[in-house]
Each structure stands twice: as C-alpha cells, then as structure tokens.
Amino acid sequence: MDNSSIYSCLGLVLSITTIEALLCMSCDNVADPRLCSRLLTCSSNEMCYVQHKLGTNGNQFYKLGCVDRNVCLGSQTSVIPVGRRNTYNSSSGLIDSNEIQSSGKMTRASNDGFHLCTQCCDKADGCNKDLCTSHPATNLRCLSCAGENDPKNCQQIKECGRDQFCYVHKGLNPNIATYSVQYDFGCMGSLQCRAFKNVFSSSCVACCNDTDLCNYDACDHWSPNTPGAAKLVTSSAPRTTVPKLDVHINGPDKGHFLKETQFACVTNPAADSYRWKFNGTFSMPMGVTEQLISGQTGGGSGLDILHIKNLTESTFGTYTCAATLNGYTAEQSHFIGILAAKPTVNIIKQPVSSSFAIQCQVTGYPAPHIQWDFVPKSPISHGIPPGVQFREEAYKSTLDVSHYNPVDHDGSWYCKATNTAGSTVSEVHIP
C-alpha cells in the first residue's frame, strides 16, 4: 500500500465522530416550542429540529422532533452551533461548529402554508425548545415520570418553578421481588431534596440545575447491592401482613420569629393519606397549611409539605406527620422552636401640638420588655414628667402627652427594649 492510500485511510478514520443518541422535544402543531412536553429518543444519525410555519388560515405553529442530520443541515434556514456531543469538520461537507447560516426567506410549503424558520441542534438534550423563537425558556425543564425502569422510557418533561431543581430517585422497586431498579423524575425544592437524601440513603437521590434535563443521567453511577434471595416461608396459620411504611420529617429545629418555615414529610412507599397533628391534636394553628407534592399510593415515595406562614408563640411546638397505608398508620414527630433574637426599636413621633403621641415599636424574641425614660433640656430633674400616660400592647408602647408644655416635655425621650438576647435603646427629641 502506498503512502497516499495510508493517508487517505488515516483521514477517513480521523473524520469519524462518535455520536450519542439525543433526546429531543417532539410535538406537532404547537403554538410555542415551550408548550411541548413530550420527549423522544433520536437515532444516532439524527438531530433535534424545529419548523416554524404560517398556516393557510394565518395561524402560526411549530413542529419539533428528530430528523436525519444530512437532511436537516441541507434544508434548514438557520444552523445552531453544535455543543458537547460532537464537532463537524467542514471538509466533510457538514457545517463547522463555529459557523451560523441564516436566511430571511419565507418558503412555500407543499400544502400546509409557509415555512418561516427551520433550525437544528445537537448541543444538548432538549435543545430544540429554544429554536425559531425570540423568547427562549428561562425556567429549568426536567424529566417528569414515576416508576420507570429506564430513563429512556420517560417521555414527559415539566417546566420547574422558580428556585426548584431537577431531581431523580433511583432505587430498588419495593413492589417487585426481583429487586429491579426503578426511577422517579421531577422538580423539587432544596428542602425536599435534602429530605429525600436522608430517607433514601441506600439509593441514589440527585438534584441538579446546571442544564435542562440534567436528571436524565444524574444517577448513572449508582447500582444496587442486590440482597440475597429471600427464603420461602410457609405456614398453615393465618397471619396479618402489616405494610412497611417508613416516615421521616425533614426541617429545621428552630426558626426565626415571624418568618416562614416548612417541614417535609417523606414516606416510603407513598401513603394513601397524610394528616398533621399540632401538639397532639389534629387542629392546626392559623397560618399553617399542608400541600401534597407527590406520591402514587403503594409505590415510589410520597411527599407532603407543611407550611408555617409565620413562626410565633402560637405556631411553635411539636408537629406530627401521620401517614396511612392500607389502614395502617405510622407517625413521626418534630419539634420546632424559635431562635432568640435581640430587640430592635423604632420610634414614631407625631407632629408636636397641644396633644400628641410617641410610639415605640419593637421586635425580638422572646417578647421584649419596654421601658421609657426622659432627660429634659434643662436637666434639673430626671424621669417621666407629669401629664404623660402610657398604652401597652404586644411589641409596642405608646406615650400620650395630653397637655403639651415645653418646660415639662421638651428634651430627649428614650425607649429601651430588653429580652434574654440583649437590649436596644433608641431616642427621639421634642420638639
């Protein structure tokens, strides 16, 4: 073989690029690519694409899916640079990763209107959600399925809320004696994610927000340690099977006064119902609500969230999650206290007139004790002058001057708030 043949073969080998199968959004005739929630696994020779069309009735719509790479690159009006999956060599006849080609032409479709835009990409899974639109999606989009035995079988996605993560739970299916692996996908807040990790410490729970659909392969590294084969037990005596129901509460032991807080009640498997107790009764304080997040009875895992809008003396205490499955109830309790906070003081003064008021508003926990003091301009005496009355309320004290006399009332008024965390003093001057 001569050198030219060797170089030709070497060039052919170097031009071959290993291409992974993509996950692409796949929908027909949607009004916006972001409304598409179906996922499709493409063949190794396909890319993600979007067609933006103007129908004969004047309505615009989008088609999303997979298309052969060569067909797409030969017909598109705009090429999106490729990313992590592969890089093309311009000598091969495909588009180089640093090039972008655009066309403003509107072409006539055969029978369904005009083609306004066609774009292709393979930079990331689901990358076609942002093609042919000037308003790319800003919220994270994640796989959203329960009880799948393979990520490839999950074809639904969900746009997560603000501050949520994509999550995946990969573990052994509790309902199958063969110990097969099952996946749960969706969106989840950081508190719930920490709760899941605590409960399912022997399986994989991952939360991510670096890219769309990042929960697809976040648990690829995990594999179960399959338990030994169960022994067959036979008995002629009747016996009652009590379902195994694990209940765990994740949340802070203490919270800030007048601030919102929440608990996550996680069960494995998901329960039929969830109820919360407060200090031993099912009567919840004002401002305390619950929300069932996820769970399919008897399978996977269940999650119920308890929200405390304002942590106060009436809402701190012991909360118990009571989960019921097939008539069996399991409970787990958690105490939430209030963090001690040094007082703050804010004095509000009305315009000085024949009668006026000064109000001292305080914060802090425990509830501060409020004291007033007065230093006149001419410090002949020290203390509260005559003609002054006080009205005490929770976290505020109002000083009423009914008959203003500059000789008696002009000077510096001090309000001091004290609790176990410390004391704070503020002053106001009259006039």
Tens digits of per-residue pLDDT, 234-251? 334 444 455 578 888 888
The structural domains of the chain, ordered by start, are: 21-130 (2.10.60), 141-208 (2.10.60), 246-338 (2.60.40.10), 341-430 (2.60.40.10)
Element (H, E) at 69: helix 69-75
132: nearest Cα among 95, 80, 87: 80
pLDDT of amino acid 299: 56
Confidence (pTM): 0.47
Q: For residue 294, what pLDDT is reported? A: 64
Per-residue pLDDT of the chain (431 residues; tens, 9 = 90+): 555 544 444 444 444 444 567 888 889 888 888 778 888 888 888 889 998 888 777 788 899 999 888 877 665 554 443 333 333 332 333 333 333 233 334 444 445 567 788 888 888 888 888 888 756 666 888 888 888 888 888 888 888 887 788 989 888 776 555 567 888 888 888 777 877 787 777 788 899 988 888 888 889 888 776 443 333 333 344 444 555 788 888 888 899 998 999 888 988 888 889 999 999 999 999 999 998 876 555 556 788 899 999 999 899 999 999 999 988 999 999 999 999 999 999 999 989 999 999 999 999 999 999 999 998 877 666 778 888 999 999 899 999 998 898 888 899 999 999 999 999 999 999 98
Token pair for residue 189?
């807040």
* pLDDT number for residue 360: 96
pLDDT tens per residue, range 196-207: 787 777 788 899
Token representation of residue 78: 């705009």
DSSP for residue 286: T
Report which DSSP code applies to 307.
E
Query: Which of 60, 69, 61, 167 minimizes the C-alpha distance to 121?
Result: 69
CA distance 95 to 82: 9
Residue for token pair 């009640």: 265
d(CA 31, CA 127): 18
Reference 320, options 306, 309, 334; nearest CA is: 334
Ramachandran quadrant class, 213 (left: phi over 0; alpha: psi -120 to 50; beta: rest): left
Q: For position 243, what pLDDT does the model report?
A: 59
Look at residue 318 in the predicted model and tell me its pLDDT. Answer: 94
pLDDT of 82 reads 36
Contacts of 17 (CB under 8 A, 6+ apart): 86, 87, 88
> By three-state DSSP, how is residue 10 classified?
helix
* DSSP code string of 179-232: --EEEEEEEE-HHHHHHHHHHTTTSEEEEE-SSTTTTSSTTTT----PPPPPPP
